[in-house]
Structure 1
Amino acid sequence: MSKKSYFDKNNEYLINWKSVILLKKYMTRFGDIKPRRFTGNSVSQQKKVRKAIIRARELGIIEYIK
């Protein structure tokens, strides 16, 4: 059973390093990035989420670990 992704072609632009609340939904409580099998994202969407989380971490907006 596959999960339905939040993103589609119309709202994929929301994946951004500045949207911290959205990015935290794709992280575990320990600060790890959730895998695709839990999020339901496609490969390209998951890559964009991962890239945005890494950029936010490097800028100090999101912590690496808790």
Structure 2
Amino acid sequence: MYKKNNFNSVPKDIVDYKDIDLLRKFINDQGKIMSRRSTGLNAKQQKKVTKSIKRARILSLLPFLKKD
């Protein structure tokens, strides 16, 4: 199975909660954080992305869920 790695486009240690465009790549259309299996990230990268997404949600930069 082919894994899509969205993280290759960004330098390794730069995941910031203020970079909303990058974080939206790791959120599905329902507003949920995508799994490692679907993003192709390793565990360390997934933890950084998850932590950044949660921080951005608390600061109201990202929605907790998308209402249709």
Pairwise same-fold verdict (TM > 0.5): yes
- State the identity as a percent: 40
Aligned length: 65
1:6 Cα deviation (Å)? 3.9
Other-structure match for 2:61:
61
- What do residues 7-65 of structure 1 show as CA deviations (whole Å, max 9, x unaligned)? 36x81222110100000000001100000000000000000000000000000000000
The answer for the alignment partner of 1:36 in structure 2 is 36
Q: Distance in 2 between matches of 1:51 and 1:2?
A: 26
Q: RMSD of the alignment, in Å?
A: 1.7
Which structure 1 residue ranges, 5 or more long, are not aligned? Answer: none
Determine the C-alpha separation between the residues in 1 that align with 2:2 and 2:44.
16
1:3 counterpart = 2:3: yes
What's the TM-score, normalizing by structure 2? 0.84
Gaps of 5+ in 2: none
> What does residue 50 of structure 2 align with?
50
